[in-house]
């Protein structure tokens, strides 16, 4: 009997250990998933590419509408531009044009995804690309890391507004909060109260810059980045998103 119980206990421990190992491996994959391939063309968009100052070729999509105004959409870490395509594709011929891109090492772009400190160069390359196309006003919309990169890139560009979704006050080597006073009049922020890091980042941005409370929207829930636009508070988030972009064009 004792031997039978011992064997049973060993089997139980092996089963529990195996489940725990699978869960651990699963968490690791979710934490750092590989870049997803970027295939095909978003509806109504043109495939474009441009090079960064350090020679990395980035892949993008351009919806050409208003020839003067353009929104540049920047994705979060380990994401890719396709998450923004449904939003970028919306609009009549007189609405602002839209540009999405894959950061270096993400999607179909060249480079190393772990070179986070170089992502502002990617955003700067996107800004240079739209200027070469004749666009005069720009709004950068960034999620997570994309927001941090956009803030650093556009800190000294008075023609560019910035809308951050779950924007971090710091991300890896990037510290946009230190530059917040430079763009305090042309920024909007959206986050959920259950996304504790993003919520804390809003508090830190407000400590470093005089950002209007009307330009800060905190929603209930735990959705992060562009996920807020399709999450539990999707309708409310989308309304705030559109209002803030409209206001940023006036900044």
Q: What's the pLDDT tens digit per position in 71-96?
A: 999 999 999 999 999 999 999 999 99
pLDDT (tens digit per residue) in 168-194: 999 999 999 999 999 999 999 999 999
**pLDDT for res 251:** 81
Pair of tokens at residue 96 = 């602002």
Question: Higher-confidence residue: 83 or 1?
Answer: 83
Q: How long a stretch of residues is the chain?
A: 251
pLDDT of amino acid 42: 87
The pLDDT of residue 29 is: 27
Average pLDDT value for residue range 205-214: 97
Of 210, 72, 57, the closest CA to residue 153 belongs to 72
**Quick one: average pLDDT of 145-158?**
97
Q: Residue 234: count other Cβ atoms within 10 Å of its Cβ.
A: 16
pLDDT value, residue 41: 58
Region 131-137: mean pLDDT is 97
Whether residue 36 is predicted with pLDDT greater than 60 in this model: the reply is no
Strands 137-143, 96-101: pairing is unpaired
Query: Locate tokens 């950061």: which residue?
Result: 103
Name every residue whose Cβ is closer than 8 Å to that of residue 150 and which is 6 or more positions away in sequence.
72, 74, 120, 123, 140, 141, 142, 162, 164
Give the Cα separation of 190 and 225 in Å (integer): 9
Cβ-in-10-Å burial (0-12, 13-18, 19+) of 181 comes to middle
With contact defined as beta carbons under 8 Å apart, do 153 and 81 qualify? Answer: no
Of the candidates 70, 244, 251, the residue with the CA atom closest to the CA atom of residue 163: 244
**Inter-axis angle of helices 145-154 and 119-132, to 10 degrees?**
60
């Amino acid at each position: 009997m004792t031997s039978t119980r011992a064997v049973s206990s060993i089997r139980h421990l092996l089963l529990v250990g195996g489940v725990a190992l699978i869960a651990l491996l699963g968490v690791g994959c979710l934490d750092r998933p590989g870049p997803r391939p970027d295939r095909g063309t978003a509806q109504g968009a043109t495939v474009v590419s441009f090079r960064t100052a350090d020679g990395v070729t980035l892949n993008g999509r351009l919806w050409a509408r208003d020839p003067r105004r353009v929104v540049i959409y920047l994705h979060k870490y380990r994401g890719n531009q396709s998450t923004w395509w449904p939003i970028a594709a919306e609009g009549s011929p007189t609405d602002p044009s839209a540009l999405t891109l894959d950061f270096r090492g993400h999607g179909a772009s060249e480079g190393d995804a772990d070179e986070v400190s170089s992502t502002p160069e990617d955003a700067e390359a996107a800004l240079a690309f739209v200027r070469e196309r004749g666009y005069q006003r720009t709004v950068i919309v960034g999620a997570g890391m994309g927001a941090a990169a956009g803030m650093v890139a556009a800190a000294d560009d008075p023609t560019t507004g910035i809308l951050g979704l779950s924007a971090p006050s710091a991300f890896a080597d990037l510290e946009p909060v230190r530059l917040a006073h430079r763009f305090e009049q042309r920024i909007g922020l959206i986050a959920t109260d259950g996304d504790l890091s993003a919520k804390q980042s809003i508090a830190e941005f407000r400590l470093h810059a005089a950002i209007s409370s009307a330009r800060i929207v905190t929603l209930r829930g735990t959705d992060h980045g562009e996920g807020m636009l399709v999450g539990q508070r999707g309708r409310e988030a989308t309304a705030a998103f559109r209002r803030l972009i409209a206001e940023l064009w006036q900044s």
